[in-house]
Amino acid sequence: MAEPLFRRLALIGIGHIGSSVARIAREGGEIAAEVVASARTQKTLDRVMELGIADRVERDPGRAVAGADCVMLCAPVGTYADLAAAIAPHLAPGAILTDVGSTKQSVIRDVGPLVPEGVHFVPAHPLAGTEYSGPDSGFVSLFRDRWCLLTPPPGTDEDAVERIAELWRRCGAMIERMEPNHHDRVLAIVSHLPHLIAFTICGTADDLADESRGQVLKFAASGFRDFTRIAASDPVMWRDIFLNNREALLEMLARFLEDAQAMARAVRWGDERYIEDKVERGRKIRRSLIELRQA
Ligand code: NAP
């Protein structure tokens, strides 16, 4: 077994993502010799101790990070500015501060200026997750064969970047480096817009008269069901993602609306070729995903 990468890993937020990292650290011991966890509520921390996925829990994030050589923010991105201000005075010199947030420009904007001299800041985003949340929902294989994107600001210590890359490799992930603004645009189209559409379509169905709503749920198997799975995600997490990737999301939404209008026009005028072509492109994308083992 490899030596643990870090002496002490502090997880600030231990829900779906944080508890998956904690489970991996506990199971193999190759990430960190010791795991300390912090969360917003005592209920979550009590549950973490019951599950036995951390060595110690601390309600106060400052106490949780003291003496840790790696600190990972795993809370909703809207909490990052306050959390960074709370932990900054307690971060150990030489420690690496990283995160798992789904938006990257906002994280660099909110956390970057608060990182003390001598602490390395390596923003990251594992592209893995389900619609479940909380410490019970994590599992050790969550990141296996998934991408983890690293968006270190210019001038970041290369050793620190490599150690975070290695942490995610030991979680089973594949690594790619990206510019933060590119990350936010790519994620807007592959993740944030699909969620926006799923929440919207479920809302539209829910607004229909009671009778039709019953029918929607009864016959949901036809495609609506897949939207409801995506729409079951955590409201606070998604509110924070939308508000912290506002520009890219609105740009992708505008493009989508144009394309949806074009499809509406094709349907109105019976443009068979246009409709077939779009469906065929969808099938091709699905086949490529399967080939890339990301389906
Ligand atoms: P989650 O299951 O809802 O867990 C969130 C955790 O953050 C909980 O432990 C919660 O504590 C804690 N928390 C909330 N507000 C806090 C605060 N003010 N101070 C300290 N802790 C706080 O969420 P998740 O799915 O793990 O997502 C966490 C992060 O990962 C988010 O930034 C998200 O964008 C990112 N991410 C999520 C996914 C996904 O699919 N789920 C994928 C990739 C990245 P309590 O339980 O006590 O409220």
Distance CA 74, CA 63 (A): 16
Could you identify the atom of ligand 1 that is nearest to the CA of residue 236? 3
What separation in Å is there between the alpha carbon of 125 and the centre of ligand 1?
A: 13
Strand order in the sheet with 70-73: 56-57, 32-38, 6-12, 70-73, 96-99, 120-122
Q: What are 48-57's contacts with CB under 8 Å, separation 24+?
A: 48/14, 48/19, 48/22, 48/135, 51/19, 51/135, 51/136, 52/26, 53/14, 53/19, 53/22, 53/23, 53/26, 53/135, 53/138, 54/11, 54/14, 54/22, 54/26
Rounded distance from Cα 15 to ligand 1 centre (Å)? 5
In angstroms, the CA 177 to CA 174 distance is 10
Q: How far is ligand 1, taken at its centre, from the CA of residue 71, in Å?
A: 15
C-alpha 13 – ligand 1 centre gap (Å): 6
pLDDT of residue 254: 98
The rounded Å distance from CA 68 to ligand 1 centre is 20
Per residue in 140-170, pLDDT tens?
999 999 999 999 999 999 999 999 999 999 9
- Mutation probe of ligand 1 site: the residue of 11, 16, 82 with most atoms within 8 A of C-beta: 16
Q: What is the length of the chain? A: 295
Q: Which of 49, 69, 70, 67 is nearest to 59 (CA)?
A: 49
For residue 83, which atom of ligand 1 is closest to its CA?
19
Q: Which residues lie closer than 8 Å to 47 by C-beta, 6 or more apart? A: 134, 135, 136
**Domains of the chain, earliest start first:** 6-178 (3.40.50.720), 182-291 (1.10.3660.10)
Place of tokens 């409709």: 275
Ligand 1: residue whose CA is nearest its atom 16: 40
The pTM for the full model equals 0.95
Region 254-282 average pLDDT: 97
Give 210: exposed, middle or buried? Use CB within 10 Å, 0-12, 13-18, 19+: exposed
Pairing of strands 70-73, 6-12: parallel
Q: Which atom of ligand 1 is nearest to the CA of 233?
A: 41
Interhelix angle 235-244/193-207, nearest 10 degrees: 130
One-letter amino acid for residue 73 of the chain: L
Ligand 1 centre and the CA of 237: distance in Å? 7
**pLDDT digits over 166-183, tens only?**
999 999 999 999 999 999
Q: Which letter, b or e, does each residue of 145-155 get, where b requires 16 or more Cβ atoms within 10 Å of its Cβ? A: ebbbbbbbeee
Hunting for tokens 């101790």 — which residue is that?
49
In the structure, which protein residues have their CB atom closer than 6 angstroms to any atom of ligand 1? 12-18, 38-41, 44, 74-77, 79, 83, 100-102, 125-126, 129, 133-134, 234, 237, 241
Give the count of alpha carbons within 13 A of 70, CB side only.
30
The single residue listed with the structure tokens 């998604």 is: 238
Distances (CA, A) of 104 to 98, 160, 226: 11, 18, 27
Average pLDDT, the chain: 95
Ligand 1 atom nearest to 234, measured from its CA: 3
Task: Give the pLDDT confidence of 72-124 residue by residue, as tens digits.
Answer: 999 999 999 999 999 999 999 999 999 999 999 999 999 999 999 999 999 99
Q: What is the pLDDT of residue 24?
A: 97
Helices and strands (H, E) in the chain, number of each type: 13, 9
Instruction: For residue 236, count other CB atoms closer than 10 A to its CB.
Output: 12
Cα 67 to middle of ligand 1, angstroms: 23
Probe residue for ligand 1, chosen from 17, 48, 127, 137 as the CB with the greatest number of ligand atoms within 8 Å? 17
- Single-letter residue type at 40: R
Atom of ligand 1 nearest to the CA of 126: 43
Q: What is the mean pLDDT of residues 191-214?
A: 87
